[in-house]
Amino acid sequence: MTTTTSSAGEGPSAADLREQGFATRREVMSDDFVDRAMDRAVGTESEAIQHVVAENVWGNIWNRPGLDRRDRSLLNIGMLVALRADAEPAGHVRGGLTNGLTREEITEAVIHASEYCGAPAALAATRTVQTVFDDLDG
């Protein structure tokens, strides 16, 4: 990953992080996923948060050394179960599969999280996981 530094020489600029972030997000989540998110947000107040997420989450955090994308995906699934973030897991299940997780590993992550996060959170996540698997199976 090549980056240019800001004029102060303190690391990548916000624009660089945004560009890297959108590239990483597209690699993990797919062009269609990112295009749909951006199409919904363009010209609205929501567009700003898309840029902040691209810069901070996808440009900075996802590109840090120390964890590979597969591990980050596994962590995300567990955290989203804990947060009961019902709208978010579907994209991250697909992203996890893209990053090398297996269906069994995703299912086990949800089961593992169920004991730490509670059955309601795990059941909600399982519904989302199964919907993604069913969609992929046609």
The band of 121, judged by pLDDT with boundaries at 50, 70 and 90, is confident
Q: What is the mean pLDDT of residues 114-123?
A: 86
The band of 9, judged by pLDDT with boundaries at 50, 70 and 90, is low
Closest among 48, 54, 67, 53 to 21, alpha carbons compared: 54
Predicted local distance difference test score (pLDDT) of residue 8: 55
CA–CA–CA angle 134, 53, 115 (5° rounding): 50
Residue 82 phi, psi (nearest 5): -60, -40
Q: Model pTM greater than 0.75?
A: yes
Residue 66 phi, psi (nearest 5): 110, -35
CA–CA–CA angle 82, 119, 130 (5° rounding): 80
For all residues of the chain together, what is the average pLDDT?
90
13-57 residue pLDDT tens: 989 999 999 999 999 999 999 999 999 999 999 999 999 999 999
Contact status, residue 91 vs residue 29, Cβ threshold 8 Å:
yes
Closest among 104, 78, 99 to 89, alpha carbons compared: 78
* Residues whose CB is less than 8 angstroms from the CB of residue 36 and which lie 6 or more positions away in sequence, other chains included: none
More confident residue, 120 or 42: 42
Distance CA 75, CA 23 (A): 20
